[in-house]
Amino acid sequence: MIKLSVSPRVLAMTAVGVCLIGGAVVAQTAPLPAIQWDVRRLDQLDRNVRRLERALTQRNAAGEPVLVQPDPEVVALQGRVAAMDQRLQDLEQTFQRVNADGERLTFQLDETQRANETLRTRLAQAEERVGKLETEAELNAPIVANSPTGAAPGDLAAAVRLLSSDRPRGVRALETLIVTWPEAAEAREANLRLGDLSVQANDRANAVSYYAAALKDWPKTAWAPEATLKLADALLATDRKTQGCAALSEFTRRYPEAPAALKTRATQTRTRAACAA
């Protein structure tokens, strides 16, 4: 059995000049001068190749197969290619796992964001409900004497400012002022303002009590004449004609120096209500 080492480098084989002599192969190991390839040399190379093919065929037919051993460099190269191919497959599988993990994490992140939005909404709603409950508890608690500024004028000014930003708490502040300073002139004005707020809320029955408290003992303040007409209007609107007409009479008797516009308004109200002269 003859073993031949076949290299992929064809040009090296041609440079060596393989020759077949009497069935023996002689390899020219020393480097040869550069070959000038012409038609004759090419024909000779072709004949040698054909002889080699016939020799291989004859030995195979005679039961002496020729084993062709691969070039070690080729084997090493094939091993490296196989290793690189395996690494590429491993990398591809790794990328697939990373992509799958990324998609799963993205989905989980989206789910978490949606859950957070839901929690934030529910928290805001809960805070709003708690705020309303706290406000209701504050506004419905018994009113006790309390002076934020330590003086009736300061408390009234603070209550008026609070009305512009938080009406329920402003109303509460006016009511607290009345309890804290019942004999002060500011308590009368607080009742007057509460009466006006009741009229705005279409609660004229409540407005009557506030106007009456503001006009107790018929004060001589600048706002008293108009407050008397407001009391009369509230009484007439709540079907208390007798009391309403009486308030109009008190307006004429108590405030003869009232502005002409208020006197005209009083006359119109008296006529509309058909009060006795």
The tens digit of pLDDT for each residue in 174-231 reads: 999 999 999 999 999 999 999 999 999 999 999 999 999 999 999 999 999 999 999 9
What's the pLDDT at 181?
97
Q: What is the DSSP string of 119-133?
A: HHHHHHHHHHHHHHH
What DSSP character marks residue 144?
Answer: -
Supply the pLDDT for residue 182.
95
Q: Which parts of the chain have pLDDT scores under 50?
A: 1-28
pLDDT the model gives residue 71: 66
What are the DSSP E strand ranges found in the chain?
3-6, 19-21, 24-26, 67-70
In three-state secondary structure terms, 8 is coil
pLDDT at 135: 78
Going by DSSP bridges, is the β-strand pair 67-70/24-26 parallel, antiparallel, or unpaired? unpaired
Q: Which of 264, 203, 255, 260 is nearest to 227 (CA)?
A: 255
What does the pLDDT read at residue 7?
Answer: 42
What's the pLDDT at 101?
87
Residue with tokens 């039961």: 63
Question: What DSSP state is assigned to residue 70?
Answer: E
What pLDDT is recorded for position 4? 43
List Cβ neighbours of 14 (8 Å cut-off, separation of 6 or more). 35, 45
Q: 10 Å Cβ neighbour count for 21?
A: 7
- Strand-pairing partners, residue 255, are none
147: CB partners within 8 A, 6+ apart: 154, 155, 180, 181
Structure tokens that stand for 125 in this block: 């709603």
The number of residues in the chain equals 277
Q: What are the residue ranges spanned by the domains of the chain?
A: 3-70, 71-138, 204-273
Half-sphere exposure of 121 (CA within 13 A, CB side): 6
For 93-121, the DSSP string reads: HHHHHHHHHHHHHHHHHHHHHHHHHHHHH
pLDDT at 61: 81
Give the chain's largest Cα–Cα span. Answer: 162
